[in-house]
Amino acid sequence: MRLAGLALVIPAFPLLLVARLQLGAAFSVQAKASQLVTTGLYARIRNPIYVFGALLIAGAIIWAQRPVFLLVFLILIPLQIVRSRKEAQVLEAKFGDEYLEYKRKTWF
């Protein structure tokens, strides 16, 4: 199980860092639409920070062999979905058809 956890953590951590760096000045704790980032990891995944953050946490939980901590996902995943929908609304309001086309071509 520890190897399975590491198999998630090892790629997830650097990909999370890359996603954050690629987001650059567009990063914000609250949903805002300063620019639409559509390159790098964002060319395929609309929310790579959420995806790789969740994989990192899952890998750490599996590595620690504490399945009770998987309850974190009962809270984390719905919160991330709600947050991503709010961000999508803000981006769609600002960028309109450009965002809808980007959304059509990407996953989560």
Give me the residues paired with residue 89 across strands.
Answer: none
Q: Largest Cα–Cα distance in the chain?
A: 45
| Tokens (6 digits) for 12 | 């997830």
Q: Do the beta carbons of residue 86 and residue 80 sit within 8 Å?
A: no
Crossing angle of helices 97-105 and 72-95, in 10° steps, is 140
Q: Do the beta carbons of residue 77 and residue 54 sit within 8 Å?
A: yes
pLDDT band at 104 (very low <50, low <70, confident <90, very high): very high
Q: Residue 23: pLDDT above 90?
A: yes
pLDDT reported for residue 19:
98
Q: Residue 30: pLDDT above 90?
A: no
User: Is the model's pTM score more than 0.85?
Assistant: yes
- Cα–Cα distance between 36 and 83 in angstroms, integer? 17
Tens-digit pLDDT profile for residues 49-103: 999 999 999 999 999 999 888 888 889 899 999 999 999 999 999 999 999 999 9
- Cα–Cα distance between 79 and 61 in angstroms, integer? 18
Angle at 13 between CA 11 and CA 19, to 5 degrees: 100
pLDDT reported for residue 94:
96
